[in-house]
Chains A and B, each alone.
Chain A
């Protein structure tokens, strides 16, 4: 059901963990649906210098979290904002149809983390 790239990202996920002094945190999903994704961002001079995640979910949820964080590290916010679930799926070389929603969660988690970053900044 999963391709090698997805399995590899599940087996050796990149960027697992938390950033204690994160500039933005986004949490999406809920446990009753079987997926919670939390993304932490460290942002310096408008660039995502670090991203980490914590995920409760299936193999695809972990793999998309791993891939999504890899895709945004080192990118300016404007580009990170444009990362779509489709791009994450493509980077993973495909996901089974019933698992596409995991990639949507990844996109939403990133957007939410950026929102959090902006509201924190506005409050400063």
Chain B
């Protein structure tokens, strides 16, 4: 199997898994319990919070554990919107956000909030100027992702956060794809809220973090017990928290080495595809992109049929966003970048990871070339 879908999820690193395992059936106390078993879990959760804080450059009490990126996005946006609704009900986001953000702001629109969806350029970049121009007296939140999950384009978060700070508006970023791929320090970036998810950097699934700068008022989201300083009810997912803390530390420590590996594979892939496969184009920003991401549009063919053809050869890729599969609409990200629908339908995302090899890249290019020849021969659009 050749797995080239690391933006969808990564495997859990063996060292991470090893850290987690004792917290299932040995140290299984509830981190909220007062007894010794509970205190052991509390200590583990605490240590993990410390690791996350170090990785992000923030304080421990600014780190809230959640069930993942989606919950963090939901909480950040709704939490700010509801807490600030007396001040204003306007939110700014971009057209290329993950559905965890887009569907949340769409719901808020139904509840009487107004939302501005910023355009992006052909590379999928949000311009800080467009943010500045969209801010109104009643704007309470700007939410723009750090790196796009489909095309990998990095966003000018620091510049946008600076504008938000000057204008007295809170700034949230969905950094789910960026952690472990680009340096993320919340102080340097100047963001007020940040979402991340464990399973995108070789940590476990079902665990995430919302960073909330101290002093930011946020409405509670998950009601229940007094966990997470009474801000997020629910028994602490100790194994998940331990895994995330260990994984983020490892990801940050090994970032340079990992990036060198995946970038070399990615660039080899891009060069080979561009050279050997006609009628294709690389989507996203040519330089300012995630080190492991290559997203291509292949003219005259439809993405799912490419995906299936690769799947027959045990190669795992994704067509557009994995979340979009099952829907017939082409990727909202590619359309926002101005791509014609026909071309957007023929787009495939390849995201490389730590275990991938040069042989994986070469095999994939061979299979891809054959698949495209076959599918194009079948296509009524192909000029031949």
A residues at B contact (CB < 8 Å): 1-2, 7, 10-11, 13, 16, 27, 31-38, 54-59, 61-62, 96, 98, 101
Contact = CB atoms under 8 A, between A and B. Distances in A.
A31 B345 contact: yes
A98 B304 CA distance: 13
B137 interface: no
Interface in B78-105: none
The 5 A-B pairs at the shortest CB distance, nearest first, are namely A31-B342, A32-B341, A58-B304, A54-B380, A34-B345
Contact of A62 (B330, B340, B341, B378): B378
Contacts of B71: none
Contacts of B381: 31, 36, 56
A14 to B, nearest CB: 12
B380 A36 contact: yes
A101 to B, nearest CB: 8
A35 B302 contact: yes
A32 B381 CA distance: 12
A56 B341 contact: no
Interface in B358-384: 377-381
A74 B79 CA distance: 65
B302 A16 contact: no
Given A32-B340, A34-B328, A34-B345, A59 B308 contact: yes
Contact of A55 (B326, B330, B379): B379
Interface in B149-193: none
B175 to A, nearest CB: 31
A61 to B, nearest CB: 7
A13 B378 contact: yes
Given A10-B305, A32-B341, A35-B302, A56 B380 contact: yes
Given A34-B330, A98-B326, A98-B327, A27 B380 contact: yes
Interface residues of B, number: 20
B341 A31 contact: yes
Nearest to B308: A59
B301 interface: yes
A96 B327 CA distance: 11
B279 interface: no
A63 to B, nearest CB: 10
A88 to B, nearest CB: 18
Contact of B308 (A10, A27, A55): A10
Contacts of B300: 56
B304 A59 contact: yes
Nearest to A38: B380
Contacts of B328: 33-34, 98, 101
A34 B308 contact: no
Contacts of A16: 377-378
A55 B340 contact: no
Contacts of B305: 10, 57-59, 61-62
A27 B278 CA distance: 26
Contacts of B341: 31-34
A10 B311 CA distance: 12
B345 A55 contact: no
Nearest to A66: B378
Nearest to A7: B308
A83 B148 CA distance: 45
Contacts of A55: 378-380
Contacts of A54: 378-380
Contacts of B304: 58-59
Contacts of A7: 308
Given A34-B302, A38-B380, 19 more contacts: A1-B326, A16-B377, A32-B341, A32-B342, A33-B328, A34-B345, A36-B380, A54-B378, A55-B378, A55-B380, A56-B301, A58-B304, A59-B304, A59-B305, A61-B302, A96-B326, A98-B327, A98-B328, A101-B328
25 contacts: A2-B308, A13-B378, A31-B345, A31-B381, A32-B340, A32-B341, A33-B328, A34-B302, A34-B330, A34-B341, A34-B342, A35-B302, A36-B379, A37-B380, A54-B378, A54-B379, A54-B380, A56-B302, A56-B379, A56-B381, A59-B304, A61-B302, A61-B305, A62-B305, A98-B328
Residue of A33, A34, A61 contacting most chain B CB atoms (<10 Å): A34
Interface in B294-309: 300-302, 304-305, 308
B32 to A, nearest CB: 41
Contacts of A33: 328, 341
